[in-house]
């Protein structure tokens, strides 16, 4: 059985979705990052980086990095409905999309959610958040153009976990602006949100985005130090 460390306001939902889709046995251990539970001695012994998600494999390996966890689980359990196999010609396009989200989208989303960590003055936080959002939107414009030509999914007609991974970050961004500016990304989002296995997760993530925005409004110096 797998053990997943995660919880509200975290990207662990991505891994939980995949474990559910793959009908894999797991236990969810909740880590409340708003209460700083990711910085307790107990959790730091599991991941000294103090970040979630963490996945403990049935063999007892402790793994981190959400993109790696998604691809690892899909490969290990041959979930080819979620990730093209290594010898599938679509594997290259799939990996490009996953690595792009992991490095270029997620990093800016971190700045979007934790602007105080990138600024010396509280009054700059709002502007830093805006800049992070603009950068994500401009990177998504490239994705949008690609989807307009070869969509509706990242791999054309074929759904993959790359689409859920992208949709998760769309749910956390500004869905209204995405709908106005990025037609093909919005179309992909709607398709994914209508999938039986994904819908619950994306609805919860949309709510999480709204709740977190409220937390940010109430804590202008930063929700988590
Ligand atoms: N590169 C890591 C980043 C993990 C990460 O930043 N997780 C967030 C929750 S979504 C976290 O633990 N935040 C706590 C903090 O930054 O203090 C990954 O993609 O898995």
- Which residues touch 32 (CB under 8 Å, ≥6 apart)? 7, 8
Q: Is residue 18 part of a domain?
A: yes
Indicate whether 122 and 204 sit together in one domain: yes
- Nearest alpha carbon, ligand 1 atom 16: 51
The CA distances from residue 128 to 73, 125, 158, in Å, are 35, 5, 36
- pLDDT for the residue numbered 4: 98
Question: What pLDDT score does 29 carry?
Answer: 98
69 CB within 6 A, ligand 1? no
Q: Whose C-alpha lies nearest to ligand 1, atom 14?
A: 51
> Which pLDDT belongs to residue 22?
98
Measured from the Cα of 110, ligand 1's closest atom is 6
CB of 38 closer than 6 angstroms to any ligand 1 atom: yes
Evaluate whether residue 177 is within a structural domain.
yes
Q: Is 10 in the pocket of ligand 1 (CB under 6 A)?
A: yes
The ranges of the chain with pLDDT < 70 are none
Residue 102 structural domain = 91-218
Specify if 133 maps to a domain.
yes
Q: What does the pLDDT look like over 72-102, one tens digit per residue?
A: 999 999 999 999 999 999 999 999 999 999 9
- Residue that finishes a domain, picked among 30, 50, 76: 76
Q: Judge if the beta carbon of residue 51 lies within 6 A of ligand 1.
A: yes
Q: Does 72 share its domain with 103?
A: no
| One domain, residues 68 and 100 | no
CA distance 45 to 41: 6
Question: Ligand 1, from 5, 11, 65: best to mutate by most atoms within 8 Å of Cβ?
Answer: 11
Angle, CA of 30, 201 and 164, to the nearest 5°: 115
pLDDT, residue 98, reads 98
Nearest atom, ligand 1, residue 52 CA: 12
Whether residue 96 sits in one domain with residue 53: no
């Amino acid at each position: 059985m797998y053990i997943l460390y995660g919880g509200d306001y975290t990207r662990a939902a991505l891994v939980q979705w995949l474990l559910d889709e793959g009908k894999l046995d797991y236990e969810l251990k909740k880590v409340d990052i708003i209460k700083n539970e990711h910085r307790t001695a107990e959790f730091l012994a599991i991941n000294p980086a103090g970040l979630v998600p963490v996945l403990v494999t049935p063999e007892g390996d402790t793994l981190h990095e959400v993109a790696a966890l998604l691809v690892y689980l899909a490969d290990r359990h041959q979930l080819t409905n979620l990730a093209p196999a290594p010898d599938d010609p679509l594997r290259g396009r799939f990996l490009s999309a996953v690595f792009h989200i992991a490095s270029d989208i997620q990093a800016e989303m971190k700045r979007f959610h934790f602007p105080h960590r990138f600024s010396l003055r509280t009054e700059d936080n709002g502007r830093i958040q805006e800049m992070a959002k603009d950068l994500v939107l401009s990177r998504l414009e490239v994705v949008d153009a690609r989807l307009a030509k070869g969509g509706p999914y990242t791999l054309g007609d074929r759904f993959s976990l790359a689409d859920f991974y992208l949709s998760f970050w769309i749910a956390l961004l500004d869905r209204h602006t995405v709908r106005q500016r990025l037609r093909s990304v919005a179309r992909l989002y709607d398709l994914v949100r209508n999938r039986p296995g994904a819908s619950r997760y994306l609805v919860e993530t949309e709510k999480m985005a709204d709740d977190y925005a409220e937390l940010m409004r109430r804590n202008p110096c930063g929700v988590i130090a």
